[in-house]
Amino acid sequence: MAITATKNPAFYSGPQLELEKTLQAVDSQTWQAGDPCYLTTTGKAKPLATGIGRIYGFFADSRASASSSTVPPIYRIASEETKFVGDISNGANDTTSQRTHKGENAGLRVTSVNSKNVTTVDVGNDTAGGVVLDDPIWVKEGFKNTSTDSPGRIIFHFKDTMLQG
């Protein structure tokens, strides 16, 4: 089964994400449900960008624009025990997920796909080291995924050092 559409990471297993509705968003930002976010130095939620070394959670809804009074619902990541499944890339290129990736460190890459931001697990960027790779999804769910899917999907978790809050 070939995967044709790149998707944001999704919850896979472990402690559930906590829904929060207390943080304001940064002015003039847009996001889609499922986009990851981080907290700025002023404590406001902002969509994740490539190179940001920390993550707070995932937006629970979509917004075409936000003001400083916007309080978006956010699924907060509370534990490194929470696992996600995400599409895998090697820099700007999609790649397949292999068993040899297990235990490796990776980064997150944010790109625009069809005018929407999509976050992938970037095996070509292990310098941040905040993302730890687990099994490719085809090992756990071979009936829906294969080792030749591109982009491949992989199970991963965030190290506590990458989590905000």
The confidence score (pLDDT) of residue 34 equals 87
90/155 same-domain check: yes
| Structural contact between residues 72 and 47, judged by C-beta atoms closer than 8 angstroms | no
The confidence score (pLDDT) of residue 82 equals 92
How many angstroms separate the CA atoms of 55 and 158, rounded? 9
Give 104-160 pLDDT, tens digit per residue: 888 888 887 777 788 888 887 765 568 888 988 888 887 777 788 878 888 999 988
How many angstroms separate the CA atoms of 83 and 75, rounded? 14
66/87 same-domain check: no
Residue 1 binned pLDDT confidence (cut-offs 50, 70, 90): very low
The confidence score (pLDDT) of residue 77 equals 93
Give 16-31 pLDDT, tens digit per residue: 888 999 999 998 888 8
Q: Which two tokens stand for residue 116?
A: 């929407």
Assigned domain for 13 exists: no
Please choose, from the candidates 119, 108, 109, the residue with its C-alpha nearest in 3D space to the C-alpha of residue 163: 108
The confidence score (pLDDT) of residue 2 equals 47
39/87 same-domain check: no
Give 51-83 pLDDT, tens digit per residue: 667 899 999 998 887 777 889 999 999 888 999
Q: The domain containing residue 143 runs over which residues? A: 79-160
Q: How many domains does the chain have?
A: 2
Average pLDDT, the chain: 83
φ, ψ at 144 (rounded to 5°): -115, -15
Assigned domain for 141 exists: yes
The confidence score (pLDDT) of residue 71 equals 92
87/153 same-domain check: yes
SS3 48: coil
Helix count and strand count (H, E) for the chain: 1, 12
Among all chains, which residue has been given the structure tokens 């402690």?
Answer: 15
83/63 same-domain check: no
Assigned domain for 11 exists: no
Count Cβ atoms below 10 Å from residue 9 Cβ, excluding itself. Answer: 26
25/56 same-domain check: yes
Residue 101 binned pLDDT confidence (cut-offs 50, 70, 90): confident
46/62 same-domain check: yes
115/150 same-domain check: yes
Would you give the distance in Å from CA 16 to the centre of its chain? 15
How many angstroms separate the CA atoms of 57 and 35, rounded? 9
Residue 89 binned pLDDT confidence (cut-offs 50, 70, 90): confident
How many angstroms separate the CA atoms of 33 and 60, rounded? 5
97/144 same-domain check: yes
